[in-house]
Amino acid sequence: MRWIRTGTFSTVLVIICMTSPTVSQKDCSLDDECSCTFTDGSGKVDLTSLGNTDDTPKFKDVLFKDEGYYYSYNPCGGFTEGDCQDASACVINEDKSEQQQIGDSSNAAFKYDDSSNNVIVAYTSGHGVLRLTTVNLVCDKSACTPSFTPMGEQGAGQFEMTLTTVCACPDGCDASGPKHCSGSGAAGGLSGGTILCILFISLLFVYLVAGTIFMKMRLNATGSDLIPNKNFWFSLPGLILHGFKFTCSKIRRQEYVPTN
């Protein structure tokens, strides 16, 4: 595809730099194509939960305006889009008539970057003429919903992307998803108002059940008399209505005269 520059020598150099030994005391050792473990014991980066499993990309046709091209990416597992088969990354031309694979799902390598304190995952694609895509995994503990930004072609056959997510943080996610996010179903993600509503409904239920049992067992009540504090509950709608009318009268600066 002529609309994408291709290169071999420079791409190979980048791959060598990604996999060669380094003097850094910290790195992220490959576990599989979706995860790596920090060599200093600080935890693990796991992208498993971010990948679609239905042969579609998690992020599809995201426009990079500077080029006019679209980029698709699946952080874990392969996808199919046009000519891109079992791909992790794919680039699509302006009218979406052509696609080119820029990263195979089976060719992933992880590396810790000292300068940014982030992990980089790299994907290669092609034979002879290689293409390389590097994805900067930006750790953000508040990014329970991941965000993806394509950065375009940086050199001949070399592409760059950014993925901001809590899953880029050490032990921020496991294979099932984020460990401390509302999106993962954790109760700690509920809002204060939601928690108050749940507590109110729970207490009201206990009150009604316990009160009904008491009225039945101790007072031998039947029918509507089983309702604890029946007179109060029956009068409550009227009290609310009076309160509403009183408030409206004050707003209108009128005298409120209650009626039975």
Give me the percent of the chain exceeding a pLDDT of 70. Answer: 84
Residue 31 to residue 47: CA distance in whole angstroms: 11
Structure tokens at 85: 């088969």
Q: What is the pLDDT of residue 160?
A: 97
Q: What is the pLDDT of residue 142?
A: 92
Q: What is the pLDDT of residue 210?
A: 83
Q: What is the pLDDT of residue 70?
A: 97
Residue 207 to residue 228: CA distance in whole angstroms: 8
Taking residues 30-55, report their average pLDDT: 95
Q: What is the pLDDT of residue 194?
A: 75
**Phi/psi at 79 (nearest 5 deg)?**
-140, 165
Decide the pairing of beta strands 158-165 and 131-139.
Answer: parallel
Q: Which of these ranges, 116-130, 136-150, 240-254, has the smallest mean pLDDT?
A: 240-254
DSSP codes of every residue in 41-97? SS-EEE-GGGS-SSSS-SEEEEEETTTTEEEEE-SSS-EEETTEEEEEEEEE-TTS-
Confidence of residue 29 (pLDDT cuts 50, 70, 90): very high
Q: What is the pLDDT of residue 24?
A: 54
Q: What is the pLDDT of residue 71?
A: 98
Residue 176 to residue 224: CA distance in whole angstroms: 49
Instruction: Summarize pLDDT for 90-99 with one digit per residue, the tens.
Output: 999 999 999 9
The most confident of the ranges 19-28, 116-125, 241-250 is 116-125
Residue 210 to residue 67: CA distance in whole angstroms: 68
Q: All domains of the chain, ordered by start, with CATH?
A: 9-179 (2.70.130.10), 192-251 (no CATH)
Confidence of residue 237 (pLDDT cuts 50, 70, 90): confident
Q: What is the pLDDT of residue 53?
A: 95
Give me the percent of the chain exceeding a pLDDT of 90. Answer: 53
DSSP H or E stretch at residue 248: helix 230-251
Instruction: Summarize pLDDT for 183-193 with one digit per residue, the tens.
Output: 443 334 456 67
* pLDDT of 217 over the 80 cut: yes
* pLDDT of 22 over the 50 cut: no
Structure tokens at 244: 């509403």
